Structure 1
Amino acid sequence: MMQIALLGNPNIGKTSLFNQLTGSYEYVGNWSGVTVEEKVGLLKNKKAYLVDLPGTYSLTPLSRDERVVTEFLLKNEFSSIVNIVDASQLQRNLHLTIELLEFEKPLMMGLNMIDVAQSHGLEIDEQMLADKLGVNVQPIIARTGKGCTRLMDKIIGQENKMGKSFQLYYGEGIEKGITILEELLDGKEVQLPSKRWLAIQFFAGNETVKTYLQKLTDSQTLEELFTSVEKETIKQAGHSVQDTIYEKRDEFIVALLRDVVSVIKDVPQTFTEKVDRFATNKYLGMPIFLVLLYLMFMITFNWIGTPLSDRFDAFLSGPFTGWLEGMLKHLGTSEFLYKLIIEGIVPGVGGVLVFVPQIFILFFFISVLEDSGYMARISLVMDRIMQSIGLNGKAFIPMVIGFGCNVPGIMSARTIEQPKERLITILLTPLMSCSARLPVYALFAGVFFKGNEALVVLSLYTLGVVLALVLAKLFSKTILKSEESLFVVELPPYRVPHIKTLAKSTWDKGKGFVKKAGTFIFGGTVVIWVLSVVGFGGFHVAMDDSLLASVGSFIAPIFAPLGFGTWQAAVALVTGFLAKESIVATMNIVYHTASAAYLQGMVANAYTALSAYSFLVFILLYIPCLATVATIKKETGSTKWTIFSMVYPFVIAYVISFTIYQVGKLIGLN
């Protein structure tokens, strides 16, 4: 079955179109870098596979995710291209279109956001655009699905309708160089439709293409040819080869748009422009962001989330546990299996699942911020701060994604062009408070900070961000000195989120939490419970004499200066390395609790408000979970930096928790 490549600039609805055409659901966000590797889906008509490639402004790759696009074009077999463009930003988007047309594969254009263009007073002659470029053009609104079915119907068989080749004249010097390079490639095994495209990409500075060509011809010959063309072009045009290629394309695009785009009315200031006067304001942007976070946490932990979690907990620890006990007795279950289920699995898994309402509410509001277009503004607001510490606003995007889960946050750092900035971002993203920590926050904040849960949780999120910024400054000035980089971000118009999209996005984020509770946490609770009933004296020993208690007691003195030197806390922190959700599951087992309310009572006896906050800070900052560590190893390809990513957070967590607890005691807090 044939494959069709889906390409376009970042943040123009490419992934939304992929979802509409395939019926699958991929993560959609209003910033560049959401798609960091190709995703494949079967078209709804079952006639072809659609490959969703990372968004890129150009085929000349700067970042790792952009390199994926060029490598796909060079190495993969596919029949045609669907190029999605933003109808309201054609001049910028058509630069990529020209590069794709020069590749000489059949191409179809999805003219997206046609409604936004019309709201800006723009009228596009779609047929003239199609005729001048020699492609099929289909107006669409990817978010709502309008026009997407017609686009899909036109995709299949389009190669039979597109015999017209596209060719721009780049000037005498460059054209001469293109001809020479094409002649050098004659007789070589080039599995591409256009040798001219290879030559243009080489002169445009595409390093991936250059590496490809070096396998086909002599490297020195290529360097001498480039130097010769560069000198000739500067002499003729007064610019470098790359700048001249860009200018020739831009001249063509400007002339094209004069013919195909008309301004039909003067448009007053848009809603987006009015809101952005405040949302992206130099002084108001950050306070607005913090207020929105506070309201989000109030709804999650105070107004709606906690009451729902309490009711769910009452059901699990009451009617559900009673029904399960009765069923197990009726089936004649052995004492060992009965206790494993009732004292191990139900408290462990159930103790995590009771926080599902809070998790899903939080993810719902994060999805609202994403789908409305506000998330891109956060990175713009943060850019001013990030620049002062040696990074740029793009580095904050993985951190924001890390609020949901650190793993995709680290993976999205592929969008950062500068290698050292990318490494710094990868190392710091685990400091962002992921959703797996929320059950612990909810448990302790509900016990010791009743009525101020949202404020306490906000303080933890803020601490993670502030610490990441401080360390970014330190790393960029010492162990990872980086070059200055330019920050470019697409600011989409504000939109009213679609309920269907919100539901899909919320479920996509939250299902991982539920799945982990039913698999990883399930297995972990079995192991933890067994260790809690097995000791040096055999089976069914008292909890304090168990292997679990022995391990915890050996480690516990390390944490005594931090205010939580009990073996139960030590064991919970160890299992927290496997998955942060396991902390609550472990506590339910070691405290012999069957309900969140009972666990809260046990926690209230084991901690003070001061030691509880110290414990929460330590959980926020200490060693990343196993999945995050594995992702760091994969993304950096370095054992050294992976070990560093585990060691430095533990040291910092220890120092800060120690300071909080000891200073708190000195000033009389408890």
Structure 2
Amino acid sequence: APIVRTTGHKSEGMEGILEAIILVAENKISFNSQGVKYGQEIENEIKIIQDLLEKNNKIPGKHGTRWLPVKLLENDKDIRDAVNSPEIDNQIEKSVAHIEKITGESPETSIAAGRYGFISGACQEAVRSTIEIRHTVSDRIDAVLTNRVLGLPVFLGLMYLVFYLTFTLGDPPMGWIEDFFAWLSGAVAGLWPEGSDSLIKSLLTEGIIGGVGGVIVFLPNILLLFLAIAILEDTGYMARAAFIMDRLMHKIGLHGKSFIPMLIGFGCSVPAIMATRTLENRQDRLTTMLVIPLMSCGARLPIYALIIPAFFPQALHGTMLWIMYIIGILLAILSAKLLRKTIFSGESVPFVMELPPYRMPTVKSVFIHMWDRGKLYLKKAGTIILGISILLWVISTFPKLPESEIKQFESEKQMMQEKITDNEEKNKYAASIESRFAEESLRYSIAGRIGSFIEPFLKPIGFDWKIGTALIGAFAAKEVFVAQLGIVHSVGKVEEDSETLREKLKSTYNPLTGFCIMLFCLISTPCMATTAIVVRESGSWKWAMLQLGGLTIMAYIFTFIAFQAGRILGIGI
């Protein structure tokens, strides 16, 4: 067969290889069909199993007669279940024992070695490359990036750079989107006469635009973070990050392989928990699964992006974001250590990792990865968050204040207008009365009553009933916290010149409360999707409930310590 030059990540040579495949398929050119040979002992066992499969008519139509015995020797669970023959299972056990006795290795190891040997030989005959030069360059880079002393500081420095750029580059487009939704809210409100209390107007401006718009505003930050992660993944650095953390992970009873799902957790906890399937040891897998939500996922970034600019100077934006991510990593490591010392005590499995060569990421690949993740965020905003925002608007709007109380506010407003002649003073008092009316209306609603009920439990950690109602919504999806804050702080305030949510938060709370909000949202119970995937992957509600309760208690304790310490020391108040 012809040798076709290709470059996979640049999509070069794809047409040539397709033409060669067609020619071979149509028998227009000859080719060597010599397959991979695994050594005499394994080949003998493959033949025995192959004959047994044919004898028992146990070869499904879509599988090759040679491929099936190889997969059975590799202990492929799905294939063994598909064959489902006690006689064949018995023969496989005999074959595995024989191979291990003769070769001193498991069939999986021997078969993998055979494949790599075949690939290596084929590459030596057909591929021309500068692999030695590339390996030399890779070795030189690794001498710094995976150095026992320099590796961790470089990793932390790269993380800081990512978060600094996420805020610095994301701020201008975020402002444009914020201005657009402010204009849209005012334009929609303008469709009704001034002073109108239409429920449809309130739903559109406060529920949908205020809720969903408040989440979409942070799309630039989300895209920039995912862009940076995609670049680090495509260059091969993420594998080095796991290697760097291996020594530290061993000290807590895990290994570097557990850090890979934790790194994926920076994007989303759901695929991160699914990635724990690569861990052979069930104790390692469950431990990693339970601590993954402590890694700041993309859903928490909108909360950080809302709170940090509201309470901290611009020079500290990147630093504060970096601190939140580091706190999450440290708490995950400490929690894993505790779990391995108590519930999941035992030895960890040794970890040997093959570091891929460094590669120059392509623009196409990086942007595909970034957009795939960003698209999921937008889809979530347009479906789950939209639905929850409407639900939260309903419970934040109903029931309405009793007619007697509404008339009391109207009477007070009328008296004020008759007594005060100065227009500036009149507008000031009118705004004050409207603000009190909006707050009392919200307190009287279902959300307000729930928030008021839990407020005594939240006061020791610096939260009021409004933050409490937002935390309830965050149980469904973390981004909803931002949406609900937008709803509760915009009720009755849909004018074009109304304050932004950040300005409202800044005038209501202090930096200490802002930090405690981020800390609580970082540690507290994961979203419903994460809980569901933990149930599925662990096979039990027990571990999901342990995670749910444990993280909620842990969030309260750490936030209580942070708030009370800050209050006593006078920090951020």
Residues 77-116 of structure 1 mapped to structure 2, 5 A cutoff: none
The answer (yes or no) to whether the contact 2:188–2:201 under 8 Å persists in 1 is no
Change (3 A) 1:328 1:510: farther
Q: Distance in 2 between matches of 1:427 and 1:288?
A: 27
* Aligned counterpart, 1:298: 164
Residue 466 of structure 2 corresponds to 568
Which residue in the other structure is 1:354 paired with?
A: 217
> CA 1:596–1:466 in structure 2 vs 1: closer, same or farther (change >3 Å)?
farther
What amino acid is the match of 2:258? Answer: A
* Pair 471,138 (structure 1): closer, same or farther in 2 beyond 3 Å: farther
- Structure 2 residue 563 is matched with structure 1 residue 661: yes
Partner of residue 587, structure 1: 485
Cα deviations by residue, 1:531-555 (Å, 9 ceiling, x for unpaired): 2221275699722221210011111
Q: Which runs of 5+ in 2 are unaligned?
A: 407-439
The 3-state SS of whatever aligns with 2:566 is: helix
Cα distance, 1:137 vs structure 2: 5.7
**What TM-score results when the alignment is normalised by the length of structure 1?**
0.71
Question: Cα 1:285–1:351, aligned 2, differ >3 Å: closer, same or farther?
Answer: same
Mean Cα displacement is larger for which, 392-401 or 510-519?
510-519
- For residues 307 and 544 of structure 1, do their structure 2 counterparts lie closer, same or farther at Cα, with a shift above 3 Å needed? same
Cα displacement (A) at 1:617: 0.5
**Aligned residue runs from structure 1 range 405-444, under 5 A:** 405-444=268-307
Of 442, 447, 450, which residue of structure 2 is paired with 1:548? Answer: 447
How far has the Cα of 1:426 moved from its partner? Answer: 1.4
Q: Are 1:421 and 1:482, in contact at CA under 8 Å, matched by a contact in 2?
A: no
Determine the C-alpha separation between the residues in 2 that align with 1:435 and 1:244: 41
SS of residue matched to 2:190: helix
In 1, Cα distance between the equivalents of 2:123 and 2:568?
70
Alignment of 1:357-368 (within 5 A): 357-368=220-231
Residue number in structure 1 paired with 2:543: 641
* Equivalent residue, structure 2, for 1:309: 174
CA contact (8 A) 2:307 2:514 kept: yes
Equivalence map 1:50-89=2 (5 Å): none
Tell me by how many angstroms 1:568 deviates: 0.5
Aligned to 1:523: 387
Higher deviation after alignment, 581-590 or 148-157: 148-157
Q: Is the 1:313–1:596 Cα contact (8 Å) retained in structure 2? A: no
Residue equivalent to 1:532:
396
8 A Cα contact 1:536 1:547, kept in partner? no
Deviation at 1:646, TM superposition (A): 0.7
Larger Rg: 2
- Structure 1 residue 169: deviation in Å? 7.0
Whole-angstrom CA distance in 1 between matches of 2:88 and 2:547: 42
Task: Kindly provide the CA deviation profile for residues 591-619 of structure 1, in whole angstroms up to 9, marking residues without a partner as x.
Answer: 12558953223222432222221221010
Count how many residue pairs are aligned between Structure 1 and Structure 2: 526
Distance 1:203 1:559, change over 3 A: same
Q: Structure 2 length normalisation: TM-score?
A: 0.82
Residue 356 of structure 2 corresponds to 492
Cα 1:201–1:401, aligned 2, differ >3 Å: closer, same or farther? Answer: closer
Cα deviations across residues 81-128 of structure 1 (Å, max 9, x unaligned)?
A: xxxxxxxxxxxxxxxxxxxxxxxxxxxxxxxxxxxxxxxxxxxxxxxx
Q: Check the 8 A contact 1:316/1:350 in 2, yes or no.
A: yes
| Partner of residue 324, structure 1 | 188
Counterpart Cα distance in 1 of 2:116 and 2:212? 59
Separation (CA, whole Å) in 2 of partners of 1:265 and 1:652: 50
Map 1:371-520 → 2, pairs under 5 A: 371-451=234-314, 452-520=316-384
Does residue 215 (structure 1) correspond to residue 78 (structure 2)? The answer is no
**d(CA) in 1 for partners of 2:535 and 2:21?**
40
Query: Structure 1 residue 625: deviation in Å?
Result: 0.6
Whether 1:280 and 2:150 are equivalent positions in the alignment is no
Q: Contact between 2:49 and 2:88, CA under 8 Å: does it hold in 1?
A: no
**Is contact 1:188-1:216 (8 Å) kept?**
no
| Partner SS, residue 650 of structure 1 | helix
1:260 Cα deviation from its structure 2 partner: 5.7
Q: Which moved more, 1:483-492 or 1:633-642?
A: 483-492
Q: Is residue 607 of structure 1 aligned with residue 509 of structure 2?
A: yes
What's the CA shift for 1:209?
4.9
Matched letter for residue 166 of structure 1 = G
Matched-pair contact (CA < 8 Å) for 1:280–1:381? yes
Q: 1:139 to 1:481 in 2, by over 3 A?
A: farther
Please state how far the C-alpha of 1:398 moved relative to its aligned partner: 1.4
1:528 & 1:433 partners in 2: Cα distance? 24
- Tell whether the 8 Å contact from 2:138 to 2:357 is kept in structure 1 after alignment: yes
Letter of the 1:583 counterpart: F
Give the AA of the match of 1:168. K
- Amino acid in structure 2 at the alignment position of 1:321: S
Alpha carbons of structure 1 residues 247 and 407: separation in structure 2 relative to 1, 3 Å: closer
% identity of equivalent residues: 35
Pair 1:213–1:283, CA change in 2 (3 A): same
> Cα RMSD (Å) of the superposition?
3.3
Q: Aligned with 2:504: secondary structure? A: helix
Q: CA–CA distance in 2 between the matches of 1:196 and 1:640?
A: 43
In 2, are the aligned partners of 1:418 and 1:483 still within 8 Å (CA)? no
Aligned to 1:558: 457
Q: Assess if the C-alpha contact under 8 Å between 1:352 and 1:584 holds in 2.
A: yes
- Cα drift, residue 518 of structure 1: 2.1
Which is richer in strand? 1
C-alpha displacement at 1:261, in angstroms? Answer: 6.8
Kept after mapping to 1: 8 A contact 2:461/2:560: yes
Q: Which 5+ residue runs of structure 1 have no aligned equivalent?
A: 1-129, 131-135
Which of the residues 122, 143, 155 maps onto 2:9?
A: 143
CA distance in 1, matches of 2:267, 2:238: 13
Letter aligned with residue 456 of structure 2: P
**1:70 paired residue number:** none
- CA shift, 1:295, in A, is 1.7
Residues 372 and 215 of structure 1: CA distance in aligned 2, closer, same or farther (over 3 Å): same
Q: Cα–Cα, structure 1 residues 265 and 520, in superposed 2: closer, same or farther, change >3 Å?
A: closer
Q: Which whole-Å CA distance do the structure 2 matches of 1:591 and 1:355 have between them?
A: 18
**What letter corresponds to residue 347 of structure 1 in structure 2?**
G
3-state DSSP class of the match of 2:8? Answer: coil
Paired position in structure 2 for 1:632: 534
Q: 1:424-476 CA deviation, whole Å, 9 max, x = no partner?
A: 21111111111111121122211221231211111111111111111112212
The 1-side partners of 2:388 and 2:5 are apart by 51
Q: How far is the alpha carbon of 1:146 from its aligned partner?
A: 0.6
How many angstroms apart in 2 are the aligned matches of 1:430 and 1:501? 27
Greater displacement, 266-275 / 509-518: 266-275
Change (3 A) 1:174 1:546: closer
